[in-house]
Structure 1
Amino acid sequence: MKIAYSPCPNDTFVFHALAHGLVPGAPKLDVTFADIDITNNLAASGSCDFDVLKISFAALPWVLDDYALIPCGGALGRGCGPLVLTNGESSGPAALSGKRVAVPSERSTAYLLFRLWAAQQVPGGVGEIIVMPFHEIMPAVRDGHVDAGLVIHEARFTYTDYGLTMLADLGSWWESDTGLPIPLGAIVARRSLDRSAIAGWIQASVEYAWKHPDASHHYVMEHAQEMNPEVAKAHIALYVNDFTGSLGGSGYAAVTSLLERAAAEGLVPAIDPEKLLP
């Protein structure tokens, strides 16, 4: 089974058992590690040959004809949203008017949340949007190549190491505005496959990870881009939670709300909510 997911600790933690043949009955995996911007565009390309991918929930409107949402293995939660960072004293959202902002993907949930937030909070809108791999964003903000950066993942724990300031926590904004968790990363599988079986294998891999939290340590750190082990541990604790085991009602409500709000603003194509269901 060909699968693509990121080298981030939450993904390697979740998929460790499945990738290492520890899930009974599951097929051997052919794993490709790829940045979320790459998988978002691959899934929407119409010529993607991966069976399963980790993509942004925000990319779903472009892929739902070919791929179905798997109700486990993804990243949702509370207190784990993207951050808007600047280099210097924070002076409020208005400071972003007409400025250059680095983002991790134009089809990422982070960027979609940013656009919904900016429409409310930034008079006249931001200026140029620059897409770059997420691990390059904080150095770019620090070095003045961009005025602000939209960051995800472990940047929540490390941005102060770069001397940066948090201008906004988009997760807090989303939660206070909707009361719902933040939908970040989705697992999708080709509609022609046995999606129930795939969901079962992924859920078994998640459960193995929870029962044997140290088993994946080498796999996680091997791909964690020189991340501090404590940061990797905190990353996993934040992003691998009950919603990873099962989206549940509030998880589906969060995804539906995000995509319906974005469609109403003309930011994504409208979807049939029934296509989100297993």
Structure 2
Amino acid sequence: MADPLQVAYSPCPNDTFVFHAWAHGLVPGADTPEVTFADIDITNGLAERGEGDVLKISYGQLPWVLDEYALLPCGGALGRGCGPLVLAREPGADLTGRTVAVPSERSTAYLLFRLWAAKAVPGGFGSIVVLPFHEIMPAVRDGRVDAGLVIHEARFTYRQYGLHQLADMGEAWEQETGLPIPLGAIVARRSLGAERLRELADGIRASVRAAWADPAASRAYVLEHAQEMDPAVADQHIALYVNEFTADLGEEGHAAVRALLDRAADEGLVPRVDPAQLA
């Protein structure tokens, strides 16, 4: 018997909702994977080291791993009104020379922040501190860093920490490009072969559709692993990050990914990507 696929994704509600059926052997014809839950900075590192068969990573990490991993056209996070936020203790705080906590230096959030800050913070921000995403808001609140770049359900909970939004990276991106914002990508090892990659994509799509068809089925799994245990917040999280692009990137989704990576390459932030590697 072949070893099970080694799969890593976050414990966030959108991932556990999307992958519940697949992870529990409920997708007909699909092998049940062996799942590891990991923060995005961890999965980005796994991909860079070539560890794992299927991984949820940042689109910002993609240019460094495309030789070994293929982008799957489903299962990821891409949408509108769902961008990372820049938070601080005081409204309108000046980030010039300030310390900013980010979830990963290869995260899409940090890439968008760099593109935004090049215009919005002409004096340049100060140092960057990488923290697990759920530690960023407490660090800002407690004064350990001056500002934080937050993702996931922090969009719904930052006011509970007494914090203020300085900017919405997704809003800035959408105003400038008119495109949805690419956040998290699903990649699979190219060595699995083209047929296996198609099967994986089909299985993930089936898992997405199963989640939509019976949302209650994944409820216990979602709440068991969520960093934010409030069921209402979990529902908001899923509604925002699981959408038509999760089932299929489509033409518009692929255009958004190309635009992000091209703009970042123009600024020297990532290596230039051959569009054929994204097909």
Q: TM-score, normalised by structure 2?
A: 0.96
**Aligned counterparts of 1:225 and 1:243: Cα–Cα separation in 2:** 24
1:10 is matched by which residue type in structure 2? N
Map of 1:169 onto structure 2: 168
2:54 is matched by which residue type in structure 1? V
**Aligned counterparts of 2:11 and 2:172: Cα–Cα separation in 1:** 28
Map of 2:8 onto structure 1: 4
2:170 is matched by which residue type in structure 1? G
Map of 2:31 onto structure 1: 27
Map of 1:159 onto structure 2: 158
1:131 is matched by which residue type in structure 2? V
**Aligned counterparts of 1:76 and 1:110: Cα–Cα separation in 2:** 12
TM-fit CA distance, 1:126: 0.4
Identity %: 71
**Aligned counterparts of 2:57 and 2:220: Cα–Cα separation in 1:** 24
1:225 is matched by which residue type in structure 2? Q
Map of 1:55 onto structure 2: 57
TM-fit CA distance, 1:89: 2.2
Map of 1:211 onto structure 2: 213
Task: Please provide the CA RMSD for this pair.
Answer: 0.7
1:271 matched to 2:270: no
**Aligned counterparts of 2:121 and 2:228: Cα–Cα separation in 1:** 35
Which of residues 39, 43, 48 in structure 1 aligns to 2:47? 43
C-alpha contact 2:134 2:227 (8 A) present in aligned 1: no
**Aligned counterparts of 1:226 and 1:138: Cα–Cα separation in 2:** 13
Map of 1:241 onto structure 2: 243
Residues 201-255 of structure 1, C-alpha deviations (whole Å, 9 max, x = no match): 0000000000001110000000012521100000000000000010011100000
**Aligned counterparts of 2:132 and 2:99: Cα–Cα separation in 1:** 16
Which of residues 260, 263, 276 in structure 1 aligns to 2:262? 260
Residues 41-89 of structure 1, C-alpha deviations (whole Å, 9 max, x = no match): 110114x1x1100000111001100000000000000000000000022
Give 3-state SS (helix, strand or coil) of 1:146's partner. Answer: coil
- Counterparts in 2 of 1:170-189, with a 5 A limit? 170-189=169-188
Which of residues 49, 70, 73 in structure 2 aligns to 1:71? 73
2:251 is matched by which residue type in structure 1? G
Which ranges in structure 2 are unaligned for 5 or more consecutive residues? Answer: none
C-alpha contact 2:89 2:140 (8 A) present in aligned 1: yes
Give 3-state SS (helix, strand or coil) of 2:72's partner. Answer: strand
1:33 is matched by which residue type in structure 2? F
Map of 2:230 onto structure 1: 228
**Aligned counterparts of 1:124 and 1:164: Cα–Cα separation in 2:** 23
**Aligned counterparts of 1:172 and 1:262: Cα–Cα separation in 2:** 17
Map of 2:86 onto structure 1: 84
Deviating runs (4+, > 3 A) in structure 1? none
**Aligned counterparts of 2:60 and 2:95: Cα–Cα separation in 1:** 23
C-alpha contact 2:228 2:234 (8 A) present in aligned 1: no
Which ranges in structure 1 are unaligned for 5 or more consecutive residues? Answer: none
C-alpha contact 2:153 2:228 (8 A) present in aligned 1: no
**Aligned counterparts of 1:98 and 1:257: Cα–Cα separation in 2:** 29
**Aligned counterparts of 2:272 and 2:46: Cα–Cα separation in 1:** 20
TM-fit CA distance, 1:123: 1.7
Give 3-state SS (helix, strand or coil) of 2:30's partner. Answer: coil
**Aligned counterparts of 2:113 and 2:203: Cα–Cα separation in 1:** 34
Residues 120-163 of structure 1, C-alpha deviations (whole Å, 9 max, x = no match): 11022100000000000000000000000000010000000000
1:17 matched to 2:21: yes
Number of residue-to-residue matches in the alignment: 272
